[in-house]
Amino acid sequence: MIVNRFFGFVLSLAFLPLALSCQSLVLEDKADCPAHVYLQTVPRLDESVWSNMYFDISMKGGKESKSVVASVNELYKGHLVDIDKGQMTLVGLCGWMTVQGENKLAIPVGTQCPESVGTYANRILRKSDDTFTLPLPLMSLSVNLLIDISGLSENKAYRVMVRGDVDGYNLPDLTIHSGEFVAEAKKDISGKYRVRVPRQADALFTDSGSKAGTTGSLRIELESLDSDAGKWVTVRGWNLSELTPGGYDWTEPILEDVSVLITI
């Protein structure tokens, strides 16, 4: 059963258009005048869920860059940033605080994915008085996975591990980054297991186009504690595609939360 996340607290964010416009505020035609990036979200982001959005703007072929932090309230009113003409690359992140390495966002093994969204744009500004509007659609950088398992023995200790072959995102374009993802789905008060995972891929390919590996989809593993050996032992495992009719489409810009029922 696929559960649409838009009915949760992310509803106010999922369809937000993030508008980017650049216009010169100088009346004279001066080639060296800076242009301006105008960032605005409409309607207002939910301040009870999100606080700030972080932007990195690269200019002049990456020789210059500018970091911008804008609060939800600032983005609602409109946030102005000076830039130079030429190529501009922008990446925006909301909810993701940790960057590992210069060119990627990576989730440490054993950690669930941050609740997050992002946006990316690449634009050439040909003159400082150029004016344009560039919609920046948001994309999900995480999905909530809810696992309901029935038929477990009450006399044993269990845990649920989730594994995948994508552990984050490349910067600045937010394409998926190949790496080991491992996180424990924590049991909530309802007895169900919950975990946030990054966007995954059914098949991974090398830069040359050859097939590097196939997972089928995200994998869920049920483990029990072997008290004699003092370690966790895998009882059973499932690919997410086995548990969802028609599989799961990881290519959608906005990912749906997914709920699965497993009977032992």
Close Cβ partners of 263 (under 8 Å, ≥ 6 residues apart): 149, 150, 151
Residue 82 has pLDDT above 70, yes or no: yes
Same domain, 189 and 206: yes
Same domain, 33 and 55: yes
User: Are the C-beta atoms of residues 42 and 76 closer than 8 Å to each other?
Assistant: yes
Q: Which of 85, 118, 140 is the last residue of a domain?
A: 140
Write the CATH number for 60.
2.60.40
Residue 217 has pLDDT above 70, yes or no: no
> What confidence tier does 223 reach under pLDDT thresholds 50, 70, 90?
very high
- Domain carrying residue 27: 2-140
Q: Which of 109, 140, 171 is the last residue of a domain?
A: 140
Q: Give this prediction's pTM.
A: 0.74
**Sign of the C-alpha dihedral computed for residues 44, 47, 50 and 54 taken in this order:** positive
Same domain, 48 and 82: yes
On average, the pLDDT of the chain sits at 74
Same domain, 133 and 219: no
DSSP calls for 222-264: EEEEETTTTEEEEEEEEEHHHHSTT---TTSSSPPEEEEEEE-
Same domain, 101 and 228: no
Q: What is the pLDDT of residue 155?
A: 80
Residue 111 has pLDDT above 90, yes or no: yes
Q: Average pLDDT, stretch 66-77? A: 80
Residue 159 has pLDDT above 90, yes or no: yes
Domain count along the chain: 2
Single-letter amino acid code for the residue at 47:
E
Between 260 and 131, where is the model more confident? 260
Question: For residue 47, what are its two tokens?
Answer: 């301040």
Q: Average pLDDT, stretch 42-46? A: 63
Cα torsion for 252, 204, 149, 192, to the nearest 10°? Answer: -50
Q: Which of 113, 140, 167 is the last residue of a domain?
A: 140
Same domain, 169 and 117: no
- Say whether 21 sits in a helix, a strand or coil: strand
> What is the C-alpha to C-alpha distance for residues 148 and 134, in angstroms, rounded to an integer?
42
Give the number of C-alpha atoms closer than 13 A to the C-alpha of residue 81, restricted to the C-beta side.
Answer: 26
Give the number of C-alpha atoms closer than 13 A to the C-alpha of residue 256, restricted to the C-beta side.
Answer: 12
Q: What is the pLDDT of residue 99?
A: 55
Same domain, 136 and 188: no
Q: What is the pLDDT of residue 264?
A: 80
Q: What is the pLDDT of residue 13?
A: 31
pLDDT tens sequence across 172-194:
899 998 889 999 999 999 889 99
Q: What is the pLDDT of residue 178?
A: 87
Give the number of C-alpha atoms closer than 13 A to the C-alpha of residue 18, restricted to the C-beta side.
Answer: 27
Question: For residue 8, what are its two tokens?
Answer: 């949760």
Same domain, 66 and 148: no
Same domain, 147 and 133: no
Q: What is the pLDDT of residue 27?
A: 39
Same domain, 240 and 155: yes
Highest mean pLDDT among 4-8, 20-24, 72-76, 198-202: 198-202
Q: Average pLDDT, stretch 142-165? A: 89
Report which DSSP code applies to 107.
P
Give strand pairing partners of 187: 193
> What confidence tier does 46 reach under pLDDT thresholds 50, 70, 90?
confident
Between 30 and 36, where is the model more confident? 36
Same domain, 148 and 131: no
- Say if strands 64-71 and 132-137 run parallel, antiparallel, or are unpaired: unpaired
Residue 156 has pLDDT above 80, yes or no: yes
Same domain, 62 and 87: yes
Residue 147 has pLDDT above 50, yes or no: yes
Q: Average pLDDT, stretch 93-112? A: 79
